[in-house]
Amino acid sequence: MVSLIKAYDAAHASDEFFKRSLQDLINKSKEEPIKDVRNSNKPPISIKDENDFTNIVEAIYRIRCNLFHGGKDANDTRDQVLVRDAAMILRQWIGKLIDSWK
């Protein structure tokens, strides 16, 4: 079975939507780190590059938590971009993982 990291690597190597969304997420996190609206004690996340796997996973999780717990504004352009990028990354990444099970 392919691991999450191998599926990530496969998506990164072969999918332009994944690469663009990932680079956009990285850039957005460098412009303004991604905060946790539930817990102000957690440091904001800034993703260094496409190999910063831990912060990529944490950023996507944080975006998801902020979305479901009221920390995202549907009228905020940055929030829209963060949610869209995270969704595209997950769609392609999990798709590669599922493909590996066939």
Give the chain's domain count.
1
- pLDDT by residue, tens only, the chain of 102 residues: 458 889 999 999 998 999 999 999 999 999 999 998 877 788 999 999 999 999 999 999 999 988 887 766 677 788 899 999 999 999 999 999 998 887
Q: N- to C-terminal Cα distance for the chain?
A: 10
Which of these, 91, 70, 90, 76, lies nearest to 32 by C-alpha position? 76
Whole-model pTM? 0.87
Domain that holds residue 62: 4-100
